[in-house]
Structure 1
């Protein structure tokens, strides 16, 4: 039985959780509205890298379309608490949209 589920005198101290490098920093409020969110330098670098990779993979697609698609994909994950996997998820979403040849639809594609 896990220590956290024991009650009474059998309960032991639990080890502190390991820090998640992709988690929000303590100064970020969990009640922060999506409009208050601003990308970190790491987020901006990841968007720039993904745009470059998508432009190379889809040379026939207009550069502004590629950039808008990647930015929309990243924007759909702006409320994600764990940021570690956002770049790969946004790249996959961008590839899906660019392969289909359509613009992203947040209702259809989801967050």
Structure 2
């Protein structure tokens, strides 16, 4: 940066530090209604894709995947990332239904 743009940027002990508006807080994260709908959709899709896996296992896998992204600042891609993580975990224990109809 040019020296002129840095003028006045020095901090003194008396000046408060600026807060990071995108910074993580210690508050408990709570999903939005859109995220909850996305979780339900993901669970339904994966139950159909992995009919040999217990429904509770699918739900727990999806919940754990979403939970791993709870501190993500950019929420837009969390559903697809969580679904990919869930599919990878479920594929380690079963074969997915590639027809998409849930039939075996």
- TM-score class normalised by the smaller sequence: 0.5 to 0.7
Equivalent runs, 1:24-43 vs 2, <5 Å? 30-33=23-26, 36-43=28-35
Residue 49 of structure 2 corresponds to which residue in structure 1? 57
Residue 72 of structure 2 corresponds to which residue in structure 1? 80
Give the distance between the partners of 1:60 and 1:31, measured in 2 at CA: 39
CA contact (8 A) 2:69 2:78 kept: yes
> 5+ unaligned residues in a row in structure 2: which ranges?
6-20, 95-104
Kindly indicate which of the two structures has a greater share of residues assigned to helix: 1
Distance 1:31 1:80, change over 3 A: closer
Residue 97 of structure 1 corresponds to which residue in structure 2? 89
Residue 15 of structure 1 corresponds to which residue in structure 2? none
Is the counterpart of residue 69 in structure 1 residue 61 in structure 2? yes
TM-score, with structure 1 as normaliser: 0.63
> 5+ unaligned residues in a row in structure 1: which ranges?
10-25, 103-111
Give the distance between the partners of 1:83 and 1:40, measured in 2 at CA: 10
Q: Spell out, residue by residue over 1:46-85, the C-alpha distance to the aligned partner (whole angstroms, 9 max, x if none).
A: 1001001100100110000000000000000000000010
Return the structure number with greater relative CO, CA threshold 8 A, min gap 6: 2
